[in-house]
Chain A
């Protein structure tokens, strides 16, 4: 395969990736009524760059729950390796782990302009995990509101 063909193939893969994941994000929004881009958890993960950063946000959430109910360590025991693997897979895919907007410059023959990937798939997944933790650990909206304020601070 020539270098140009490889480049084009890479660009098409990124385009497929974006289309597939955008469709999944839209389905998520329809199903849960939550927007992964604007959810407070997305803001809490704004500067994430390591799995430990993400896990600390989850730990903070679990600790807040601990004030109301006793939580054992089972949850974090499953979450920790899951977050690490998602990071690895995401890096393999070239998904923007970086907290800044990722500029993906397409071959001019594929698309006529640079393409901006505003929201990484990994961040969407980590936000979705946080939302699931929220609805499971904080089923009562007043607690969720108070908790979301804590996450933002």
Chain B
């Protein structure tokens, strides 16, 4: 039961972080749509898929703290991408 609660909190945290990143990205994409932006957006979507994979694997294996470190690193990368948009 305790593990389930930790998993649920971790899940909420993952979606909260993804949401905050995407919310900022949304403003960027509305104005500037160039081939370079297309490629960056593609990489962002691929990176989000990677974050979802890490989270799924970590929660399945109950390695939540490891997951958070990996997710934090991935989101740092996303922030760098966002700044270059």
Contacts and interface: CB of A to CB of B under 8 A. Distances in A.
A89 B25 contact: yes
Interface residues of A, number: 42
Interface in B8-40: 8, 10-12, 14-16, 18-19, 22-23, 25-26, 29-30, 33, 35, 38-39
Interface stretch (A47-55, A108-116, A133-141, A145-153): A133-141
Contacts of A121: 42, 45
Contact of B60 (A16, A71, A135): A135
A132 B38 contact: no
A64 interface: no
14 contacts: A16-B39, A16-B42, A17-B38, A20-B46, A71-B8, A75-B11, A89-B45, A121-B45, A128-B56, A131-B52, A135-B59, A136-B11, A137-B11, A139-B4
